[in-house]
Amino acid sequence: MRRFVTTIAVLFALAVPASRARAQGQVGAILGATFSTLRGIDGLSNRTGLVGGISIVLPNDGIFAFQPEALWVNKGAKASTGDPEGLKLSYFEIPLLYRIKLSRELGLRPHIYLGPYLGIQIDCSVR
């Protein structure tokens, strides 16, 4: 399954050649934290994980843009007692976002994002 995810990520990265991406869009890296909580299961609290991947913004010069992403996301829950027990989940997610740029007053560049995503569970471990 990891080979499948790696293959999809490589194909996604090669979907827009670098010269075309510079001329019509923007390629970027994403790295951050995730904070997940599972509801309905007693004895579990939130878990902090990592998210990382790449995004492509096409085109980058108008008000509207299409922004597909390829992300590796860690989610789950840990035991509320402080033990290292819990549930760890890893996903490969592909958000297909439509981005709307708002006004650029005061040097800020706010955006609105809309769209679906595909999530594929890669790993699940329970302790």
Output DSSP code: residue 126: E
Judged against a pLDDT cut of 90, whether residue 103 lies above it is answered with no
1 C-beta neighbours (distance < 10 Å), count? 10
Q: Is the pLDDT of residue 51 over 90?
A: yes
* Contact by Cβ (8 Å): 74, 93: no
Q: What is the mean pLDDT of residues 70-99?
A: 86
User: What pLDDT, on a 0 to 100 scale, did the predictor assign at position 59?
Assistant: 83
pLDDT of residue 21: 45
Estimate the share of the chain in helix, then strand, then coil, as percent rounded to the nearest 5: 20, 55, 25
Res 19 pLDDT > 90: no
| Residue-wise pLDDT tens digits, 78-90 | 877 766 677 888 9
Q: What is the pTM of this model?
A: 0.70
Distance CA 17, CA 55 (A): 13
Cα angle value 69/46/79 (rounded, 5°): 130
* Of 82 and 93, more confident: 93
Mean pLDDT of 5-22: 52
